[in-house]
């Protein structure tokens, strides 16, 4: 299906689907500053072959979705919990997109900030979430999931101005935060960077998203009320969101499956895709299996 734009509460969300519309709906939520194309087409198609109707979209302030207003102040976000918008607002975007697509409820998968949005969706709209998969994410607790010093400095570095500089920045970034246990595919990363830049890069928007993350309070106590089958996937060598964030998420949600992937950092290497697709499918199957009353 070609990309389309949905109007959701005054926000335009660019989105795309894969698979049969009659299949099991699955919503993919991407992370900080990242457009929906970071869910690779082949990854989406692999999910579609498992019977999912896959929905990916650009978050507000990313890709071809709406640019928002307001200047982000990261100090105020961290100390005063103030930001131009919140993760709850972004979760409302996701719920609204499901409304536009006439999807009452979906299996929800989020990566990094997308995992935080997915968790918030499960907390605030429990009737819309059939199962939850949180990948390389955290609970918002300030003692877990902390980035390394190098990774944090990368988040607040001066944004590049040209396409060539953006490509080089993204390659350097993923050499730093990517998966040391797997080969680094520079050609694939350069292609992703070029496509990302061409879709639209919004440094101010990325800062607003980062402020939303930093302003968030610990979701741990609220996650304890989540009652859907859940999976947490995290890289054992993630320098951007420490593996303690994944462990904390798994502890918070009752009955969660936890998959710590050796050698994986803050990305999804192609070699890990089959493992992740199997996990998502297993959790979705569990959600759809009637509970025996015997």
Show which residues are catalytic. Answer: 112, 238, 266
Token reading at 136: 């390389």
d(C-alpha 23, C-alpha 71), whole Å = 41
Q: Residue 268, SS3?
A: coil
Tell me how far apart the alpha carbons of residues 210 and 219 are, in angstroms, rounded to a whole number: 16
Query: What's the CA gap between 56 and 176, in Å, rounded?
Result: 26
Q: Supply φ then ψ for residue 129, to 5 degrees.
A: -115, 115
- Order of strands across the sheet with 257-261? 4-8, 11-18, 52-57, 24-29, 106-111, 129-135, 230-235, 257-261
Q: What are phi and psi of 283, to 5 degrees?
A: -70, -40
Integer CA distances (angstroms), 28 to 61, 112, 117, in order: 16, 12, 10
Report which of 287, 277, 268 is spatially closest to residue 54, judged by C-alpha positions: 277
Where does 19-119 show beta strands of DSSP type E? 24-29, 52-57, 106-111
Tokens, residue 259: 């998959």
3-class DSSP state for residue 208? helix
Q: Which helix (H) or strand (E) holds 18?
A: strand 11-18
Asked if residues 117 and 92 have their Cβ atoms less than 8 Å apart, the reply is no
């Amino acid at each position: 299906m070609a990309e389309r734009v949905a109007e959701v509460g005054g926000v335009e969300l660019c989105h795309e689907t894969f698979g049969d519309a009659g299949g099991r709906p699955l919503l993919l939520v991407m992370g900080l500053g990242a457009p929906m194309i970071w869910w690779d087409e082949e990854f989406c198609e692999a999910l579609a072959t498992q019977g999912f109707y896959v929905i990916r979209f650009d978050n507000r302030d990313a890709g071809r979705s709406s640019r928002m207003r307001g200047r982000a102040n990261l100090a105020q976000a961290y100390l005063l919990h103030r930001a131009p918008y919140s993760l709850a607002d972004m979760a409302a975007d996701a719920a609204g997109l499901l409304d536009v697509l006439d999807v009452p409820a979906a299996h929800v998968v989020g990566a990094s900030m997308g995992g935080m949005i997915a968790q918030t969706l499960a907390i605030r709209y429990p009737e819309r979430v059939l199962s939850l998969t949180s990948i390389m994410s955290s609970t918002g607790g300030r003692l877990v999931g902390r980035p390394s010093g190098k990774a944090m400095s990368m988040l607040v570095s001066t944004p590049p101005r040209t396409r060539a500089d953006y490509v080089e920045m993204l390659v350097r970034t993923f050499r730093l935060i990517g998966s040391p246990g797997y080969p680094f595919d520079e050609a694939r990363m350069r292609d992703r960077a070029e496509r990302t830049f061409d879709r639209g890069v919004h440094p101010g928007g990325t800062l607003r998203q980062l402020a939303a993350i930093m302003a968030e309070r610990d979701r741990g106590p609220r996650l304890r009320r989540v009652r859907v089958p859940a999976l947490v996937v995290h890289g054992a060598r993630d320098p951007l969101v420490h593996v303690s964030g994944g462990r904390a998420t798994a502890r918070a949600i009752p009955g969660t499956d936890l998959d710590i992937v050796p050698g994986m950092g803050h990305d999804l290497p192609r070699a890990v895709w089959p493992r992740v697709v199997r996990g998502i499918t297993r959790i979705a199957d569990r959600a759809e299996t009637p509970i025996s009353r015997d």
